[in-house]
Amino acid sequence: MDIKFPERMTMIWLLLYLIVTSLVSANRFILSEMPVPRQAENECICSIVIPDSFPSQMIDFAEDALKNLTQLVQEEMDKLAPIIQNITSYNDAVENMTNTVLDIETNGIKDEADFLKATKQINNLADASDVLFTLLNETDDVIGDILNQVNNVSSVVWQLESFDKNGVLVTHREMAALRKQLAECEEAMTNLNFGVPGAGQLTHEFGKCDHKELVNISKPFIVKLNWRGFSYKYGAWGKDFAIGNKNPDMYWVAPLNTDQRLMEIYRLYNTYRDLLLYKNQVEKSLSQYVGFNWNYMNCGQGSGAILYNGSFYFNCHNTRNLCKMDTVTNNIKRKTVEGAAFNNWYSYSGVSWQDFDFAGDEKGLWVVYATESSKGKITIAQLDPENLNTIKTWETSLYKPNITNTFIICGVLYALKRVTAHKEIIFYTFDTNTGKEGTLDIVLEKLSDTAQSVSYNPNDHKIYMYNDGYLVTYDVMFKRQFTRRRRTVATMNTQNSLMTIHKGWQQFSAA
Ligand SMILES: *[C@@H]1O[C@H](CO)[C@@H](O)[C@H](O)[C@H]1NC(C)=O
Ligand SMILES: *[C@@H]1O[C@H](CO)[C@@H](O)[C@H](O)[C@H]1NC(C)=O
Ligand SMILES: *[C@@H]1O[C@H](CO)[C@@H](O)[C@H](O)[C@H]1NC(C)=O
Ligand SMILES: *[C@@H]1O[C@H](CO)[C@@H](O)[C@H](O)[C@H]1NC(C)=O
Ligand SMILES: *[C@@H]1O[C@H](CO)[C@@H](O)[C@H](O)[C@H]1NC(C)=O
Ligand SMILES: *[C@@H]1O[C@H](CO)[C@@H](O)[C@H](O)[C@H]1NC(C)=O
Ligand SMILES: *[C@@H]1O[C@H](CO)[C@@H](O)[C@H](O)[C@H]1NC(C)=O
Ligand SMILES: *[C@@H]1O[C@H](CO)[C@@H](O)[C@H](O)[C@H]1NC(C)=O
């Protein structure tokens, strides 16, 4: 008798084992390779992004199927135990029968009792085979079903593994980049000028606008978590954006309260090193305790604030006024923007209360807002930094709640749109020099989902992003301009190559 079912069961167990181990390893990869962001004094922070493409729904399916299969197999094992017993007794019966037949063959039938015993044995055998046959037939079908399902799950697991391999590769790449950033962060703590353009290096480029055409944005450089911590996801940060300002190395960090609305406090740092170490800060508190009540009149609203030429510009709390706070005297000036929508009426997509978004570029001070009359279309206003008077305005066709943020370079507004949690595209431009709109397609990678504020600094050609609490910078790349030398003809290639702004890993070599 050929008992093959236990062998097939072994095979199924083996398959299940393989599935279980691949699932377990897939799970382990997700959970344990994800470093927790940490915040502490003198510490470099890192965070990791789990790729969007990781097929968690496939894991769910496979886990579900595995549970079902385990149950099925267990049921079959339970059924199999008595079958094996029956097969054993069947074997015994066959053995007895064989002995009886042999006995009859050699000795002949001794008496009727002997004969009855033989026929009884044959009948028993027949009954047993019937029972066994039905059992085996049914089991066969169920086992066939199980094998089909095992094949089904195996194919899912196989797909999963191929996905997982990619996931591991992506994660490894990101880990490598993070290690590099950590190393640089550590270097930055001991090197005052790290990440800051060296004196005399390309300085002639800064502040000028001739042929400044944006061609690409570098990968994000994570500088630090904001000083208030991980839960302060809303805010703005940067450097003084005015060309030729007195303290070009002065950084500001302004995390909003967790209501996403109130800017009650911000800090200034005189150097990059101070910012990295969170020391020697000047803290500005904007709320006042008057007559047993807190007064928020001088506070800001939303994350559109910037530091420009030694003054802090922001939307005054609960109004359509612009505020300017002199960081030396702490005097505050106000100016109403007639017709501007305010109090979270037409804020950016995914970002609340940013009704007024300030910008400072090569051409001066700007504020971007939406008007009530245009029903949410973006207006760009150039401001007199001294008194906040509007010098000129441009109305665009861009619906403010449809875009995630904007920044301005040389009087050209660039607008962002969300693609995924880790990707934005710069898709729209408005040139105030010509009054023309344009389209673009430049990808901006994000560490975290929401870019709470995005601003360009003309003094270092960097974009400053407050990315869900993280302070992040990007290098901006412009089309390289060659001055033609005599007898040299510039090729298309060199005309189009990219230019880098400063040293470091973010540098992009001329292609
Ligand atoms: C597992 O069994 C449940 C209940 O019978 C069923 O709804 C589900 O679709 C099964 N899952 C798979 C992957 O076969
Ligand atoms: C095993 O065989 C006996 C008869 O030989 C039968 O009564 C019994 O039900 C069988 N066991 C199972 C689990 O079918
Ligand atoms: C086989 O023969 C032995 C001895 O004659 C008997 O005890 C046993 O019950 C028989 N087994 C079957 C399954 O008929
Ligand atoms: C299983 O039994 C059914 C009848 O119950 C029969 O039609 C079928 O052919 C059997 N299958 C096998 C594999 O013997
Ligand atoms: C796996 O089984 C499910 C449901 O039983 C079915 O929808 C799916 O097409 C099967 N997949 C493969 C690869 O056979
Ligand atoms: C733009 O920069 C990104 C980030 O480094 C890079 O991946 C991409 O290839 C660049 N695109 C072009 C067109 O150079
Ligand atoms: C910055 O302020 C100084 C006076 O404090 C002024 O002379 C200078 O023009 C201002 N720069 C800009 C870019 O507004
Ligand atoms: C905003 O975006 C949505 C979806 O893309 C689009 O249907 C709608 O027309 C846009 N609104 C305006 C005013 O552009």
39-88: pLDDT as tens digits? 444 444 444 444 445 555 666 776 777 777 777 777 777 777 777 777 77
Check pocket membership of 306 for ligand 7, CB cut-off 6 A.
no
Question: Which ligand is nearest to the Cα of residue 387, counting in written order?
Answer: 7
Check pocket membership of 506 for ligand 6, CB cut-off 6 A.
no
**Ligand 8 pocket: which of 346, 396, 402, 419 to mutate (most atoms within 8 A of CB):** 402
Map residue 210 onto helix, strand or coil.
coil
Higher local confidence (pLDDT), 198 or 263: 263
pLDDT-derived band at 495 (thresholds 50, 70, 90) equals very low
pLDDT computed for residue 154 by the predictor: 56
Strands 311-315 vs 321-326: parallel, antiparallel or unpaired: antiparallel
Check pocket membership of 29 for ligand 8, CB cut-off 6 A.
no
pLDDT computed for residue 173 by the predictor: 53
pLDDT computed for residue 145 by the predictor: 65
Shortest-distance atom of ligand 7 to CA 385: 14
How far apart, in whole angstroms, are the C-alpha atoms of residue 125 and residue 90?
Answer: 7
pLDDT-derived band at 25 (thresholds 50, 70, 90) equals very low
pLDDT computed for residue 408 by the predictor: 97
**Ligand 5 centroid to residue 66 C-alpha, Å:** 13
pTM of the predicted structure, to 2 decimals? 0.56
Check pocket membership of 385 for ligand 7, CB cut-off 6 A.
yes
pLDDT-derived band at 211 (thresholds 50, 70, 90) equals low
Mean pLDDT lowest among 94-103, 182-191, 319-328: 182-191
Q: Is the pLDDT of residue 468 over 70?
A: yes
Bridge partner residues of 392 (DSSP): 382
User: Minimal CA–CA distance to 223: which of 504, 471, 474, 446?
Assistant: 471
Mean pLDDT lowest among 8-17, 134-143, 447-456: 8-17
Ligand 2, atom 10, residue with closest C-alpha: 86
Ligand 8, atom 5, residue with closest C-alpha: 402
Check pocket membership of 345 for ligand 8, CB cut-off 6 A.
no
How far apart, in whole angstroms, are the C-alpha atoms of residue 430 and residue 408?
Answer: 9
Question: Which ligand is nearest to the Cα of residue 58, counting in written order?
Answer: 1
Q: Is the pLDDT of residue 412 over 90?
A: yes
Ligand 2, atom 12, residue with closest C-alpha: 82
Name the CA radius of gyration of the chain, rounded: 37
Kindly report the average pLDDT of the chain as a whole number: 75
How far apart, in whole angstroms, are the C-alpha atoms of residue 281 and residue 497?
Answer: 41
Higher local confidence (pLDDT), 109 or 264: 264
Phi-psi region of 193 (alpha: psi -120 to 50; beta: other; left: phi over 0): alpha
Percent of all residues in the chain with a pLDDT value above 90, rounded to a whole number:
41
pLDDT computed for residue 507 by the predictor: 30
Higher local confidence (pLDDT), 356 or 177: 356
